[in-house]
Amino acid sequence: MRLVGIDIGGTFTDLVAEDGDGRVAVSKVLTTPNDHAEGVMSAVAKAAVDLRQTALFLHGSTIAINTVVERKGVKTALITTRGFRDVYEIGRSNRPDAYNLFFERPVPLAPRSLRAEVTERMTARGEIHTPLKREEAAAVVVELKKAGVESIAVCFLHSYANPAHEEALGEIIASVHPAAYVTLSHRILREYREYERTSTTAVNAYVGPVVARYLGSLRERLRRKGFRGEVLVMQSGGGVMSLDTAIQMPVRMMESGPVAGVIGAARVADSLGHPQAIAFDMGGTTAKTSLTRDGNVEIASHYYIGGYNSGHPVMLPVVDIVEVGSGGGSIAWLDGAGGLKVGPVSAGAMPGPACYGLGGTQPTVTDANLILGRLGAESFLGGEMALNSEAAVAAVQKHVAGPLEIDVNEAAVAILRIANAHMALALRAVSVQRGQDPRDFALVAFGGAGPLHGCTLARELKIPVVIIPRLPGQFSAWGMLTCDLRHDYVQTMVRDFATVNPEEVRSTLAALVKSGLDTLGRERSASGPAPKIDCRLDLRYRGQEYTVTVPLSGASFDAADREPVAARFHDLHRLLYGHSAPEEALELVAVRVTVHRAVEKGPSPSPVHASMHDTGRSASAYTRRQVYMGEQGFMDTPVYRRDALAPGTKLEGAAIIEETASTTVLLPQDRLQVVPTGEMVIQIANEES
C-alpha cells in the first residue's frame, strides 16, 4: 500500500490504506490507551499492510489533548519577564459560569512554585527596554533543574515583536539543562494577548515530552517493520505536518483526528452537489460536529482545551468543531435526584460497553442500540466481535430500568433520546446559534455510530439530506489521505491602517512567507507541487477589541490595495455582525500567512469496495429483525449488507444497512440511493409525507 492513514480515537483505532490505483485495505481495532503505538501496529498488521512498500504514513491522534485533559503531562516550568509571573494564573476577568457558586478557574499547568521571572523587557515595537541579565537567567535555570523540571516554557513580554531575549534564554537552557524540552513562545506564535500566548506556550511544553516519546516510539516501530517513507501528522487547523515539526509543536495536533473527518466530509459533500454541509462524527467516546461552506471548513483562530468555562486557551488556528460527550460508549447513569443522564464519562475501549464482554458493567449508548435491534449482535465489526445481548440487558436493567421501575426497552429508548438531545444541541450550536438554517445544509454522518443516529438528528433539525460516505467507520482516517501540508503564521502589527507604511506590511508578509517555505522545504523534497500562499490582514474599527480577517488578493501589499481591503472589511463586518461603519477609522492588528502544498499521493483515494461496481448484484435483505424505529416503535425491518448495494440501488425505510465498521438506520419513509461513487444519499421524509 502506498498511503496509510491512521486515526486513534478514544475507543477504536482506525486504518485506511490505499495503493494509488483505488485498491483499499481497512481495519479497526480497540485503542490501547497504555501504549497507543501498540494499537497502531495492531491495525497495520490486521490490514496486512506492507510498510516496506508504503510511501506516506498519515497519522492523527488524541494523545496530546488527552494529556492535557487528564493532566498527565510532565513537570513543567514557566520563565517570563519580571513582574509577569502571575499573568498565566490571573487570566481574564470574565466569569463564564456566573451563577455557579463552585466555579473554578483553570488550574495552570505550571504551578506557581515553578513559574520564574528574569530581568528583561521588550517594548511593543520590538525595541530593547531592559537587556536580559544572562547570569540571573542561568541561575534560574539551575534552580529549575534541581527541582526536577522536565520541560520549560519561555514566554517574555512582547517577544512576538522581537524574540532576541527568548532566543538567548533558549541558548542558556541548552547549556545549563540540555535534557529539558524547551518551548519558546515566538516559535509557536507571534501574536499579542499575553495570557493566551502564555497558555499556548505552557500547553506545548506540558505535552511536548509525552508526544515526543510517543512519536519517537512509533517511528522506531515503523522502521523495524521496514518503513522508509515519511510520517505526516494531522494538524488541528487542517493539513498535515512532518513528524519532526509535530515533536517541536505538539500543541498544533490537539484536535488532529476529528479535523481530518471534517475536511473529508466537506470534500465529499461538495463533490455530490452539497457545498453547504454539516459534518457529524459520532465515535465511541464523543460526538463532534462542524459546519462547512462552499466545500471549505470553518477555521477558528483560537479554542479552549476542556471547554470555554474552565479550559486552557490555545491561540492557534483550529477547524471549528463543537464536541459533546455522547459517543457509543457514553455511560447512562442516574443522578442524586433519580434523573437519567448520558455521558460525558465513557466506557472507552477498556472495559468498554457491557455488550463487548470485556468487563464493562455500566450501560452505554451502544448497549441501548443493541437492545433496540439497531445493532446486530452477530454482525458487529463484520462478525469479528460478537456482542453480548444478555450483558447489555443486565446492565440497563440494573442501573436504569430497575431503579426507574420501567421496562428495559423503555429504558433503552430513554438513553437514546437523551443522547440524541445532546447531539442535536451540538448541531444547533454550529448552525442555528450562528444564524444558519439547518434546512439549507446536508448532514454528512460518519464515525462508527454516526450513521446509527444521523437520520434521527436530521429529522429533529429538519435537515433534508443525509450523506453516508464510503467507509464511515474509518472516515477520519480516510480524510487524512486527502489533506495537504499546511502551516499558519501570524505577526502582530498594531498600526493605523490609513497611514501604515506598505513597505512595512510587505516586509512582514515576506518574512512569514519565507518561514513557511523554509518549513515546507525541510518537510518534503523541493520537487513536489508548487506551494500555495494565502495572505490576510486582521483589521478592526479603532476602539474595538477583536478583529475581522480580510484576505489579500496576492502575497504583497501596496498603497493601491488599501481602499479595496478596507471595503472588503466593511462587507465582512456587515456579514458577520449585521452592520458596518465605513466612516470610522480602521486599525491593522496582525498579518497572517498560510502556506500549503498538495502532498503527492498519486490518483485520488477512492475507497470503494470492488463489489460496489458490480451493478448486477441484487439489493435483497439477508435477514430481518425487530428494530425500534422512533415514533413508529418496533418494526419488522429488512437488514441489508452495504457491499451488496450497487450504485443506483434505491431503498425506502424502514431498513438497516450494515457494513464492517458501521450501521445505518433508515427511518420509515426516508429514501436512500447509492450514487455512482458509492456514497449513500438519504432524502429525509418531511412532516407531510
Residue 376 phi/psi, 5-degree rounding, is -95, 125
Q: What is the pLDDT of residues 339-376, one digit of tens each?
A: 999 988 888 767 889 999 888 899 999 999 999 999 99
Mean pLDDT of 632-643: 92
Instruction: With a cut of 50, say whether residue 689 has pLDDT above it.
Output: no
Q: What is the pLDDT of residue 612?
A: 38
Higher pLDDT, 99 or 466: 466
Note the pLDDT of residue 596. Answer: 87
Lowest-confidence region among 163-172, 257-266, 502-511: 257-266
C-alpha to C-alpha distance for 590 and 547, rounded to whole angstroms: 9
List the domains of the chain with CATH numbers.
69-211 (3.40.1360), 485-597 (3.30.1490)
The torsion defined by the Cα of 339, 340, 344 and 350, in degrees rounded to 10, comes to 130
Calculate mean pLDDT across residues 263-277: 92
* DSSP per position, 127-175: -EEE---HHHHHHHHHHHHHTT--EEEEE-TTTTT--HHHHHHHHHHHH
Q: Tell me the pTM.
A: 0.83
Split at pLDDT 50, 70, 90, the class of 101 is: confident
Q: What's the grid cell of residue 275?
A: 457545498
pLDDT band at 484 (very low <50, low <70, confident <90, very high): confident
The one-character DSSP state at 284 is S
What integer is the mean pLDDT of 575-597?
91
Q: Residue 668: how many CB atoms within 10 A of its CB?
A: 17
Radius of gyration of the chain (CA): 26
According to the model, what pLDDT value does residue 526 have? 46
What pLDDT band is residue 600 in, cutting at 50, 70 and 90? low
pLDDT confidence bin for 687, thresholds 50/70/90? low
Kindly state the cell numbers that stand for 88. 498565566
For the ranges 248-257, 378-387, 438-447, the maximum mean pLDDT occurs at: 438-447
- Which burial class, exposed, middle or buried, applies to 184 when counting CB atoms under 10 A from its CB (0-12, 13-18, 19+)? buried
Is residue 114 very low, low, confident or very high in pLDDT (cuts 50, 70, 90)? very high
pLDDT at 618 over 70: no
Which pLDDT tens digit goes with each residue over 408-439? 999 999 999 999 999 999 999 889 988 889 99
Q: What is the pLDDT of residues 65-86, one digit of tens each?
A: 878 877 889 999 999 999 999 9
Split at pLDDT 50, 70, 90, the class of 604 is very low
- Give the closest residue to 137 by CA, choosing from 145, 126, 127: 145
Higher pLDDT, 266 or 285: 266
Helices (H), 225-255: 243-248
Please report which confidence band the pLDDT of residue 53 belongs to, taking 50, 70 and 90 as the band edges: confident
CA distance 40 to 45: 9
Task: Note the pLDDT tens digit of each residue in 454-473.
Answer: 999 999 999 999 999 998 98
Read off φ and ψ for residue 337, nearest 5 degrees.
Answer: -95, 5
DSSP string, 325-389: S-STTEEEEE-TTS-EEEEEEE-TTTT--GGGTSS--S-BHHHHHHHTTSS-TTTGGGGTS---H
CA 190 from centre of chain: 23
Report the pLDDT value the prediction gives residue 578, as an integer from 0 to 100.
Answer: 86
HEC sequence for 79-105: EEECCCCCHHHHCCCCCCCCCCCCCCC
Is residue 129 very low, low, confident or very high in pLDDT (cuts 50, 70, 90)? very high
Average pLDDT of span 588-605: 76
Residue that the C-alpha cell 537552557 belongs to = 173
User: Mean per-residue pLDDT for 324-342?
Assistant: 89
Categorize the per-residue pLDDT at 582 as very low, low, confident or very high, splitting at 50, 70 and 90.
Answer: very high
- Binning pLDDT at 50, 70 and 90, where does residue 64 land? confident
Share of the chain above pLDDT 70, in %: 95
Could you report the per-residue pLDDT of 540-549, keeping only the tens digit for each? 999 898 899 9
pLDDT of residue 617: 44
The pLDDT of residue 565: 95
- Rounded CA-CA distance 670/118 in Å is 66
Q: How far apart are CA 244 and CA 74, in angstroms?
A: 20
* Average pLDDT score, the chain: 88
Using the predicted structure, report yes or no on whether residue 317 has a pLDDT greater than 90: no
